């Protein structure tokens, strides 16, 4: 499975010049925990709800503070064709929870580590139950073969 199969395509963005207050409002309106900071289609950074809390923690005025003050950068991005497992490895190595997906220089989606791990766990479970079914079929097949053998084989 690839990033393009699970990514959120409607990514909520913010300009680096916008205030932290405005970014917080947008997160709440769109029910997201993360915004990608974009200027002229280029990704400048990424902000999460935790970054916004940092603004308050540092006693800034969120109406005056620009989001560029609190965004994380540089931003690690991936291609839509990247495999989930590889993306999960990159996120774990870099200790990031969200990965913007970029195609030909443009933002086309966003994936979160929690979505990837949930889907991989579901797949593992699906494989597990598939293997259980296969094992049952093999056992049933063996039994059938055994029962078709003559019950009393001639002694050698």
The CB-of-69 to Zn ion minimum distance in angstroms stands at: 5
The CB-of-58 to Zn ion minimum distance in angstroms stands at: 6
Q: The tokens 């990159």 sit on which residue? A: 90
C-beta of 15 vs 69, nearer to Zn ion:
69
Of 80-119, binders to Zn ion (CB under 5 A) are none
Contacts with Zn ion by CB under 5 A: the residue count is 4
The CB-of-64 to Zn ion minimum distance in angstroms stands at: 8
Could you give the CA distance from residue 139 to residue 18 in angstroms, rounded to a whole number?
64
The CB-of-111 to Zn ion minimum distance in angstroms stands at: 27
Q: Does 65 bind Zn ion (CB under 5 A)?
A: yes
Q: Does 38 bind Zn ion (CB under 5 A)?
A: no
C-beta of 40 vs 64, nearer to Zn ion:
64
3-state DSSP assignment of residue 116 = helix
C-beta of 22 vs 69, nearer to Zn ion:
69
Could you give the CA distance from residue 71 to residue 74 in angstroms, rounded to a whole number?
9
Choice from 55, 71, 87, 91 touching Zn ion (CB under 5 A): 55
C-beta of 63 vs 146, nearer to Zn ion:
63
Q: How far from 150 is each of 26, 155, 156, CA to CA, in Å?
A: 75, 12, 14
C-beta of 65 vs 111, nearer to Zn ion:
65
Q: Does 60 bind Zn ion (CB under 5 A)?
A: yes
Ramachandran area for residue 19 (φ above 0: left; ψ -120 to 50: alpha; else beta)? beta
Looking at the chain, the number of H-run helices and the number of E-run strands are: 5, 5
Any alpha helices (H) in 9-112, and if so which ranges? 20-30, 49-57, 84-94
Could you give the CA distance from residue 107 to residue 117 in angstroms, rounded to a whole number?
22
CA 120 to chain centre: 10
Provide the binding-site residues for Zn ion, judged by CB under 5 A: 55, 60, 65, 69
């Amino acid at each position: 499975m690839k990033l393009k199969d699970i990514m959120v395509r409607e990514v909520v963005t913010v300009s680096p010049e916008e205030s932290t207050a405005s970014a917080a409002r947008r997160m709440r309106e769109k029910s997201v925990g993360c915004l990608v900071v974009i200027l002229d289609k280029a990704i400048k950074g990424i902000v999460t709800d935790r970054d916004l809390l940092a603004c308050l923690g540092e006693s800034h005025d969120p109406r005056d503070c620009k989001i560029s003050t609190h965004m994380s950068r540089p931003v690690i991005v991936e291609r839509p064709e990247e495999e989930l497992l590889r993306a999960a490895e990159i996120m774990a190595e870099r200790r990031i929870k969200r990965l913007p997906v970029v195609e030909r220089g443009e933002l086309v989606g966003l994936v979160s580590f929690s979505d990837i791990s949930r889907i991989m766990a579901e797949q593992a479970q699906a494989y597990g139950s598939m293997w259980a079914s296969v094992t049952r079929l093999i056992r049933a097949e063996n039994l059938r073969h055994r029962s078709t053998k003559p019950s009393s084989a001639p002694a050698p």
